Structure 1
């Protein structure tokens, strides 16, 4: 098959899509129309482009109105997202469908002559796509809320909802709703005329595929060289389309890795820091930008929170489909709305922690071994601090622990020859990066194109080929920053130490930075001030909850007979927590109550839309 791609849609203009796979009929038309209507209402986006064929109808939602019709060829491939490279030619097999694509993307390949539709996801599954079955048709969408609205009154998936309340995100392919699932990473699903609702499911890439028993681990030097080449190639390819990027810049490693890549590639960019005045992030990022000389913006979180409205809170809920606590996303939303008029790409450093042993560096017994020795401990590390199991129905806690430990054991068994460190990195790639960061990414993607340079197939393969001791204590990452941009690497971080490798050669610089930082603390205290370390400020969860409570008392919501998530809770304990938090002005259990409110609001939204 040769892909005709009649008037292909510019991927930079697409910020969401819905689709129905199945033979043409009035019923398929109805499903497609209802799904498009629900998505358009939730996202407040009337700008659409439609492709129809014998086996599918796909509606793309655009960042602005586009007059030219995309056309319908007999064979076409469309990719949405922010990526470099291109998909494979149409006559390649489904296993090669992703071709040379690197980045965050989701693709659709249609061959009318062969009656075949192939859907495929990016290597880490970052751009979230949800799917469900209805009346023999396969429905998919970048919004789980839209699918829930089309399927009718949604029924809670108790395990998925429990994961959100206890972890802050949902694991595996689960969502809040029974019958709605997440498309898996690095996968190609093939539909044909014989079996339209049940695709052939293929995995085109495995994170550990480059780490075979006959292939030795990479040395730090080789990994640094390969990583720099991959980062440089990907960044320059994106710059062809996106010439006005903005990058997060904090006091940490990962944002510095993105900025050093752009500096090394000699690409234009600006930086931004969102934080409270006096925090490490604000102090360090401002000093770096001032000394190295580029445009840097500060967004003081107190000012942003003070300007929030209920309309902002409602929009944040719909952008995230309720899969991120509203108070966690409403500020990034406000920032990106402000950036959308001046920048055309938002970079962040998510995924860089996989190169740094971030998830296992404190667990001595995990290093080098191959047997997961304490699954219960790992499960607890996945949970949010302070989660109170007494709130939930008593049967949900053992179900959660059993399901999560079973998933960890399955991952360990499937990769039995790998070290514990590789297994835990893979676990966090699938859960924390794929589901938590993926939902942040997919929400921001609706506002403006966005990218993380570290979550590409090329870099993930390199990461899994590094031995644990090369990642421990940021060893490889420091060498990467030093090789990428030595001047930036020498700049102090949050703890007042530079990001250069810890060695005799850099010992004087480390000592000098530490002494200057210590002297600054002493001067501040002698002057009667208080030295601030870390991001300090108001309880944003409490402020947002107070706004929601003023619009509709939360005691009324959770005491209502119509509570849509009531099956999750021990009613007595839940009512007591809500009352205490409200009485304290949301100073108690605010983060926990925020997750409860967000989940309930998501179900209310799913039931509120009238699909035409």
Structure 2
């Protein structure tokens, strides 16, 4: 299933017309067909919206109790030995055992279960909240969906002061939405709506496994190989050939290596400038390994053409991602869908490489204390806050609020090592980009993120941090399961082999790049802005005329008056001098870059979409 919708009237009425109108909005935004079948309960109506790539195409039902269950995304039931997309076993076991069955669920999904005996609806987010579930209320009417825009429309929401500004500057809403009256369900949460009102509870939380922490390096490597291969075989047991995203980086190579090791049929693909290191390395790897490979190039007039994708991108991303960047993603997934319907992506791989605690330096793993200011300086870096009205005020206000939110995540277990605390924060930082992206493409591709399965995360977070430093865990695994693949160059510099004295010279580009990133971030800390343009190791890729494309995009956007200061619904958020300059010339846009412009456009389009319905 590629989307879902739920409507409840807590005053006891069941309005088919209201739900049908809501469902039409969800289908329109997500570019999906209207569903034929609905599921109903006491004061409750729900529906699933399918795409050709959907796994869970049926609504599980129990005629005796009037209970039912539906889901979007990929639900992994660890009690199901032969998964085929059916959700019947989860419903049957819930009716017999209660909510404890939820703790065995894994994957990336949104799920609605109606308990006919108790006349209540239960809505579940996946363990890390990667498929967003949005909800809002107006009067006695409760609306829930995988589309925040559809919910915002029906509850007549305005933008959130924090969420909108945080999105523009950081590209993240940190658990909020861009809407004042639309909430997002937290990870691993059950939202219960019944006769006693609405309440939330957690069905799973990470617990460190001391038996895994005690393993030596070799045992830890075997442990992680076992859990990753088991999860791949389990979740893809009923699929045929799949796509595997492959770049020059470590995470996608690890995923391709595991799929090859598990004898899962796949085809690799890559995108980006033809002369970029990512494209060159991915093509070389695929040819040497004998894998099928496809390169997705962008048309020469992409700067003009991508504007035609903006409306579809807005709906599928809910206005929570940069529409300029995501226009390429949505186009690419649409093309891929003509061949294969399932993709493996390497999101979550950074959690296995110790990326989120690098900045603790010599303190990592030796204390439970986290330097949250350093976390903000090195890992949560904003774009130029001067684009906002009262930029200096909002720079401090946003930083303070975000730091507080991340601190609450890290300190939920004060005795955890700082590496584990920062790993948990890493899952939250990945939620916006990773989760919203895979949810956005559910109409074209069923995307699976094996590195973000809770069983795999539990093992890697429990592993001795020393085995993960500088990607050591992935490097050893690759050398063990596919030595040929490990010997090939990476985009970061050097091979994917473990670093040893005998091959240290091959990693000089890696250390130069790491040093450049460190100094760049220190400069940002001192001056509050980048002191120079970051060095790009190897071939940077200049085949795409990015600056010209941005100018072409702004020309097309100008015809739609999306950035016209006197017509923008979001104009009050920005520094007026900057906004005027943005409208008058490309130099201002080039200074802040595609990402900020893409987010400004996304927010403005989202606000206009809501206004046009009211």
Same fold (TM over 0.5): yes
Deviations 1:70-118 (A, max 9, x none): 5863122223212432537123666523253321112222221222322
Measured after TM superposition, the shift of residue 253 of structure 1 is 0.6
SS of the residue 1:177 aligns to: coil
Where does residue 53 of structure 1 map in the other structure? 41
Alpha-carbon separation, structure 1, partners of 2:370 and 2:105: 37
SS of the residue 1:418 aligns to: coil
Deviations 1:7-29 (A, max 9, x none): xxxxxxx1111111345855643
Q: Is the 8 A contact 2:12 2:43 kept in 1?
A: no
Measured after TM superposition, the shift of residue 344 of structure 1 is 1.6
Where does residue 204 of structure 1 map in the other structure? 203
1:29 pairs with 10, 13, 16, which one? 16
2:335 pairs with 327, 338, 344, which one? 338
Alpha-carbon separation, structure 2, partners of 1:573 and 1:287: 44
1:157 pairs with 160, 163, 174, which one? 160
Judge which range, 98-107 or 137-146, deviates more.
Answer: 98-107
Where does residue 221 of structure 2 map in the other structure? 224
Measured after TM superposition, the shift of residue 144 of structure 1 is 0.6
Mapped pair 1:458 → 2:455: yes
Measured after TM superposition, the shift of residue 390 of structure 1 is 5.3
Where does residue 67 of structure 2 map in the other structure? 75
Alpha-carbon separation, structure 1, partners of 2:33 and 2:601: 29
Q: Is the 8 A contact 1:210 1:465 kept in 2?
A: yes
Mapped pair 1:480 → 2:477: yes
SS of the residue 2:45 aligns to: strand
Deviations 1:101-154 (A, max 9, x none): 3211122222212223221121111111111122223321101111111112x3
Where does residue 577 of structure 2 map in the other structure? 572
Alpha-carbon separation, structure 2, partners of 1:422 and 1:220: 18
Mapped pair 1:315 → 2:320: no
Where does residue 526 of structure 2 map in the other structure? none
Where does residue 178 of structure 2 map in the other structure? 176
Deviations 1:393-429 (A, max 9, x none): 3443332122112223323432211122221221121
Deviations 1:278-327 (A, max 9, x none): 21111111111111101111123465836834321221122111111111
Query: What pairs up with 1:249-328 in 2 under 5 angstroms?
Result: 249-301=246-298, 303=300, 305=302, 308-328=305-325
Query: What pairs up with 1:390-539 in 2 under 5 angstroms?
Result: 391-394=388-391, 395-430=393-428, 432-495=429-492, 497-503=494-500, 507=502, 532-538=538-544
Mapped pair 1:546 → 2:527: no
Mapped pair 1:84 → 2:76: yes
SS of the residue 1:59 aligns to: strand
Q: Is the 8 A contact 1:97 1:120 kept in 2?
A: no
Q: CA RMSD in A?
A: 3.0
Q: Is the 8 A contact 1:270 1:296 kept in 2?
A: yes
> In structure 2, do the counterparts of structure 1 residues 583 and 533 end up closer, same or farther at CA, with 3 Å as the change threshold?
closer
Alpha-carbon separation, structure 1, partners of 2:27 and 2:550: 26
Where does residue 28 of structure 2 map in the other structure? 41
Judge which range, 39-48 or 469-478, deviates more.
Answer: 39-48
Q: Is the 8 A contact 1:94 1:190 kept in 2?
A: no
Measured after TM superposition, the shift of residue 217 of structure 1 is 4.4
1:63 pairs with 51, 57, 60, which one? 51
> In structure 2, do the counterparts of structure 1 residues 383 and 534 end up closer, same or farther at CA, with 3 Å as the change threshold?
same
SS of the residue 1:140 aligns to: strand
SS of the residue 1:360 aligns to: helix
SS of the residue 1:241 aligns to: coil
> In structure 2, do the counterparts of structure 1 residues 399 and 31 end up closer, same or farther at CA, with 3 Å as the change threshold?
farther
> In structure 2, do the counterparts of structure 1 residues 233 and 211 end up closer, same or farther at CA, with 3 Å as the change threshold?
closer
Q: Is the 8 A contact 1:55 1:117 kept in 2?
A: no
> In structure 2, do the counterparts of structure 1 residues 558 and 377 end up closer, same or farther at CA, with 3 Å as the change threshold?
farther
Measured after TM superposition, the shift of residue 263 of structure 1 is 0.8
> In structure 2, do the counterparts of structure 1 residues 565 and 219 end up closer, same or farther at CA, with 3 Å as the change threshold?
farther
Measured after TM superposition, the shift of residue 496 of structure 1 is 5.2
Q: Is the 8 A contact 1:359 1:424 kept in 2?
A: yes
Q: Is the 8 A contact 1:368 1:420 kept in 2?
A: yes
Measured after TM superposition, the shift of residue 259 of structure 1 is 0.7
Structure 1: gaps of 5 or more residues: 1-13, 516-529
TM-score by length of 1: 0.85
Alpha-carbon separation, structure 1, partners of 2:266 and 2:53: 27
> In structure 2, do the counterparts of structure 1 residues 344 and 587 end up closer, same or farther at CA, with 3 Å as the change threshold?
same
Where does residue 611 of structure 2 map in the other structure? 607
Measured after TM superposition, the shift of residue 254 of structure 1 is 0.5
Q: Is the 8 A contact 2:103 2:203 kept in 1?
A: no
Q: Is the 8 A contact 1:160 1:175 kept in 2?
A: yes
SS of the residue 1:557 aligns to: coil
Measured after TM superposition, the shift of residue 535 of structure 1 is 4.3
TM-score by length of 2: 0.85
Where does residue 17 of structure 1 map in the other structure? 4
SS of the residue 1:445 aligns to: coil
Alpha-carbon separation, structure 1, partners of 2:47 and 2:307: 30
SS of the residue 1:80 aligns to: strand
Where does residue 195 of structure 1 map in the other structure? 196
Alpha-carbon separation, structure 1, partners of 2:51 and 2:445: 8
